Amino acid sequence: MSYAVTNDNVRLYFEEAGEGTPIIFLHEFAADYTNWEPQMRYFSRGHRCIAYSARGYTPSDVPPAAEVYTYRHFYNDALTVLDHLEIAKAHFVGLSMGAYSSLQIGLNNPERALSLTLAGVGSGSSLENLEAFRGQCRANADQYETIGAAEVAKATREAPSRIPFLLKDPRGHADFYDALARHDAKGSANTMRSFQGGRPSIYTMTEAIRKVTTPTLIICGDEDDNCIEPSLFLKKHLPAAGLTFFPKSGHVLNLEEPALFNEMVERFVAFAEAGRGPVRDPRSMMAQT
């Protein structure tokens, strides 16, 4: 098994496939490295692809202290994997939690990113409801510690943003939640409490976001209600961003619509590698009145 080791001695399990320009995949809260398999198989035909399990997600280590699960730990962990593989720059493809970490790379280490794909990004960012969201994260963390991952998976399998996946692909949806039921409860609780419940809202980063010139693709399902406004916000303020909505789609975009997801990301990566992802031309913007 292959591991990269962080500065605080956490082992991160990763897998890689293919050769070419590197693409690193960052998973969501309810997933792990295995959920990128449709992308690993597809993109490894022409790229060097890396998928890893975040800290708290086996077979990576599960540190016991919640204090080492902050959003800073998570985006730096992605860089640790690249450093271990001696990769200077890569395309970052993230979903949800992984999209937030990818955005942080653009904000803090733009020299490491060839491009950013932010899918299902920004849930829990509403400033009006931020404290309620954080309180719910703490409650969810307590739930993981009290009843375990298997019972939490049963309780969350019909969350609103997951229903489109259930309707389109019941078998894939069942596999997804069977995998979630096997997650380490302590790792999930720590991630929920510190990363999900402690990360800054994207709406507090407007000025920093406006300075990110890395080519960026934002992908959102049109039935992923919590991510629609954040996606529009990022399109407005990221200078080199493109935005696409997947129709009748929810949150698990890479598994719910794998062919469409792969097509969009493939076209975008090729666009970025050709140097055709510059900041938006002012002539394409309407004058403010």
pLDDT single digits (tens) 198-214: 999 999 999 999 999 99
Query: What string of DSSP letters covers 135-180?
Result: HHHHHHHHHHHHH-HHHHHHHHTT-GGGHHHHHH-HHHHHHHHHHH
Within-domain flag for 185? no
What percentage of the chain carries pLDDT values higher than 90?
94
The DSSP output letter for 191 is I
C-beta neighbour count of 16 within 10 angstroms: 19
Within-domain flag for 113? yes
pLDDT at 221 over 50: yes
Within-domain flag for 137? no
For 96: left if phi > 0, alpha if psi spans -120 to 50, otherwise beta; the answer is left
Within-domain flag for 250? yes
pLDDT at 256 over 60: yes
CATH of the domain at 229: 3.40.50.1820
Q: Rounded to an integer, what is the distance from CA 127 to the centroid of its chain?
A: 21
Band of pLDDT at residue 289, cut at 50, 70 and 90: very low
Burial class (CB in 10 A: 0-12, 13-18, 19+), 158: exposed
pLDDT at 237 over 70: yes
Number of domains in the chain: 1
Within-domain flag for 190? no
Nearest to 253 by CA among 94, 129, 68, 52: 94
Within-domain flag for 289? no
Task: Give the domain range for residue 88.
Answer: 3-125+202-284
181-200 pLDDT, tens digit per residue, is 999 999 999 999 999 999 99
Nearest to 53 by CA among 74, 72, 22, 70: 74
Angle at CA 272, nearest 5°, toward 266 and 278?
140
The pTM of this model reads: 0.96
CA separation for the pair 187, 91 (Å, rounded) = 27
Cis peptide before 282 (omega within 30 of 0): no
Please give the pLDDT value at position 89.
Answer: 98
Within-domain flag for 139? no
- Inter-residue contact 238 to 209 (CB < 8 Å): yes
Within-domain flag for 161? no
What percentage of the chain carries pLDDT values higher than 70?
99
Mutual orientation of helices 97-108 and 71-84 as an angle, nearest 10°? 80
Mean per-residue pLDDT, 162-176: 96
